[in-house]
Structure 1
């Protein structure tokens, strides 16, 4: 693998919780490492997984016949990155990726992860609600190289990191209280005009397989390449009836935009939304790139085409069940991948435009080959017919890189 310089980790910020923005501690209580928990079949926060630091690094699940293959572990003790020893990241998931938009030599892929565990023998198992890593690796044929962290990873004006370089810090905190705000999970990321944007969901509680309940989705911003983050409460799409001054009030349509997928095209940010959990359909909105934080500027794809401002009129562009969703523009078509909680696999669709028509789904990973795999996210430096994407697996609670072909 080839890498120009570094990866790094984020810092605490403010997050919407209980009707306001509050500063929160970096570590809260967590489910015990390696123990089954109610959240083990939901996204993030614990689960049943194995940390096997002495396992051969080439141990990867076999996707079986077809164009999809597993490339390498990205995180955990089985990865060449050894994130357990280097960043105190023994178990994590998601790896939502986007290009930071910088010119060379500062161009990077930023990767946002969900609930993260470090030393399972440490107090709280070193649980963090979310972390971020960076990579400049352009050769994905043997995995994603995550080098040693350098704060900010930008040549000019990098902030001084007062934290130990071998401990990845949280991007934003959460209360860590089941039934109120258990955790805050990233669902999409994008860079526009030198600013990094992440859409987070505030998870109120985990349920049974594929179920969780959210308070809201909201957008965080960073102007130092992901080093520090600020969550803007005015971007919250509330999913519970709270009366918060300056925040859009409860709307039925907000429920369809609790998780997101971002793609830029022709001056617009296209924002694909899905409800809480993994059983809903996919919806679509768009906004001029420079107005991403202004919810009043969004248009929604409806039965009558693009309609400004009325989230309640949005109609599905993909029927359920759509799990964690990722969308990529290859230069001549749009590609989406997502988890299908009915079949237990990962599906791929293509379309000439964000609103469709989208092709029928093609399964690129089957349940019986990679059991427990979820959350596919496309690497934005994928080109042509080659599609690289990350996915997480519960039995390992870590992230791997896979490769498939768009055309099948």
Structure 2
């Protein structure tokens, strides 16, 4: 076993000399525009009229269509808070028989504009009986956007964003949930709309009665509500590492805390293609030693989309139940059409891909250092997945979007399966506008499940609640 690598003592100057840099880098150009309704009317306070520096090339100001669910209605009305009656009706069939009630070096973190492809709508899915599911799902409240009690426009210069990947920071001195977001817009009236590749929130809120409450961001305060460039504007946390000639997005897909460090799996986007489809340059793991305030990238974790690594371009970390010493990492290919695969690694060896083992269902064994040996553990389509061990079910639980753009869950006695049938949580027909990316709250491991969910027509994130039977 190699000694545990360290970066704690690497200063900015010495890191630059060694090629182990954590830096702000060049801020990307604007290519997202949820600037409609209340978001379009929002005006910055005088001290928030901050234009983010950007390269000279300016891209079309439109949403990044790669995350758009096929068939999403951009003009759909926003859902109302509280229990969704039609969902309640859809989710009350009788239960089915048998239904289960470190450190390596880091590198620095200037993209080109993404071509805007004409959306291609898929063929209608064949009619099928809806899966059974829990008895009640409700929309708790908006996490981001003009309708959020977090006032993310005024406090963080965030009018629109998506994803909201949540994980426990593992810090006993200041226990928090961290939330990573994808493409992020600021004030619509400022040039380039203060667009950022990604952003981060922090929260100690365990009540979740209205939403995930986020305190103010404070410059240089690693426990404040968000890493900020200056008061009132969240900063981009993961920047380009210069490993791809064409890069139009740096999108987080999973987060986890290990040994006092925050780890964030992300994908480097080459092209946003048609709705539900995109291509990547690679995936990799970023690391922060200061609770998400500053980030670098483990160069040894870069996975180009070849040699089996094409199935690990998007991720979902899973901390196991009692007695299991591994950290698990689900993987899916680009876009929303692929199956889910799984790897495991000792937590202190995350930066070393040669130490990972991949589940091969054909042989029923874990295969070391060979991602091409991985076989599907959940058949596709699986999109934007999250997973955790559930103490109420005493089972592993996975949430994702299926081929009909519904939000579903599966359960399993082990991380590698066998995974049970899909259970419907949120039908896409009941929240029109394109729902995607159900990311579980790490503190809701019992009967009441809380999870973030993105809505394309609002281009913002809402907190959902499902009560398990």
TM score, norm. by length of structure 2: 0.73
Q: Which residue of 1 aligns with 2:421?
A: 360
Pair 1:281-2:336 in alignment: no
Pair 1:64-2:64 in alignment: no
Do the aligned residues in 1 keep the contact of 2:22 with 2:296 (CA within 8 Å)?
no
Q: Give the distance between the partners of 2:33 and 2:447, measured in 1 at CA.
A: 42
Do the aligned residues in 2 keep the contact of 1:181 with 1:205 (CA within 8 Å)?
yes
Q: Which residue of 2 aligns with 1:148?
A: 216
> Aligned residue pairs: how many?
366
Deviation at 1:162, TM superposition (A): 8.3
Q: Give the distance between the partners of 1:276 and 1:261, measured in 2 at CA.
A: 14
Do the aligned residues in 2 keep the contact of 1:40 with 1:48 (CA within 8 Å)?
no
Pair 1:293-2:354 in alignment: no
Match of 1:383 among 433, 442, 445: 445
Q: Which residue of 2 aligns with 1:29?
A: 30
1:175 and 1:29, CA in 2 relative to 1: closer, same or farther beyond 3 A?
Answer: farther
Q: Which residue of 2 aligns with 1:192?
A: 258
Deviation at 1:174, TM superposition (A): 3.8
Pair 1:324-2:384 in alignment: yes
Do the aligned residues in 2 keep the contact of 1:273 with 1:283 (CA within 8 Å)?
yes
Q: Which residue of 2 aligns with 1:403?
A: 465
Q: Which residue of 2 aligns with 1:346?
A: 407
Deviation at 1:153, TM superposition (A): 5.0
Q: Which residue of 2 aligns with 1:271?
A: 329
Structure having the larger proportion of residues in strand? 1
Match of 2:65 among 40, 48, 51: 40
Structure 1 SS opposite 2:155: helix
Q: Give the distance between the partners of 1:43 and 1:288, measured in 2 at CA.
A: 35
Q: Give the distance between the partners of 1:209 and 1:316, measured in 2 at CA.
A: 24
Structure 2 SS opposite 1:256: helix
Pair 1:99-2:168 in alignment: yes
Q: Which has the larger radius of gyration?
A: 2
Q: Give the distance between the partners of 2:369 and 2:249, measured in 1 at CA.
A: 29
Q: Give the distance between the partners of 2:446 and 2:280, measured in 1 at CA.
A: 36
Structure 2 SS opposite 1:24: coil
Do the aligned residues in 2 keep the contact of 1:179 with 1:205 (CA within 8 Å)?
no
Q: CA RMSD, aligned part only? A: 2.9
Structure 1 SS opposite 2:234: coil
Do the aligned residues in 2 keep the contact of 1:174 with 1:182 (CA within 8 Å)?
no
1:130 and 1:117, CA in 2 relative to 1: closer, same or farther beyond 3 A?
Answer: same
Do the aligned residues in 2 keep the contact of 1:26 with 1:169 (CA within 8 Å)?
no
Q: Give the distance between the partners of 1:307 and 1:69, measured in 2 at CA.
A: 41
Q: Give the distance between the partners of 2:221 and 2:83, measured in 1 at CA.
A: 33
User: Could you list the per-position Cα deviations for residues 215-265 of structure 1 after superposition, in whole angstroms to 9, with x for gaps in the alignment?
Assistant: 0000000000000000122110012xxxxxxxxxx42x0000000000112
List alignment gaps of at least 5 residues for structure 2: 1-11, 16-20, 37-60, 92-135
Do the aligned residues in 2 keep the contact of 1:377 with 1:391 (CA within 8 Å)?
yes
Deviation at 1:64, TM superposition (A): 2.7
Q: Give the distance between the partners of 2:262 and 2:66, measured in 1 at CA.
A: 30
List alignment gaps of at least 5 residues for structure 1: 1-11, 15-19, 240-249
User: Could you list the per-position Cα deviations for residues 275-305 of structure 1 after superposition, in whole angstroms to 9, with x for gaps in the alignment?
Assistant: 0000000000000011111100000000221
Match of 2:181 among 88, 113, 124: 113
Q: Give the distance between the partners of 1:74 and 1:42, measured in 2 at CA.
A: 18
Do the aligned residues in 2 keep the contact of 1:283 with 1:316 (CA within 8 Å)?
yes
Q: Give the distance between the partners of 1:41 and 1:120, measured in 2 at CA.
A: 21
TM score, norm. by length of structure 1: 0.83
User: Could you list the per-position Cα deviations for residues 80-135 of structure 1 after superposition, in whole angstroms to 9, with x for gaps in the alignment?
Assistant: 0010111000000000000000114x010000000000111111111000000000
Aligned pairs for 1:160-171 within 5 A: 163-171=229-237
Do the aligned residues in 2 keep the contact of 1:88 with 1:119 (CA within 8 Å)?
yes
Do the aligned residues in 1 keep the contact of 2:34 with 2:459 (CA within 8 Å)?
no
Q: Give the distance between the partners of 1:392 and 1:134, measured in 2 at CA.
A: 18
Structure 2 SS opposite 1:387: strand
Deviation at 1:31, TM superposition (A): 3.9
Q: Give the distance between the partners of 1:21 and 1:131, measured in 2 at CA.
A: 16
Aligned pairs for 1:118-267 within 5 A: 118-151=186-219, 163-174=229-240, 180-239=246-305, 250-251=306-307, 253-265=308-320, 266-267=324-325
Runs of 4+ deviating beyond 2 Å: 20-24, 31-44, 47-50, 57-64, 150-155, 173-176
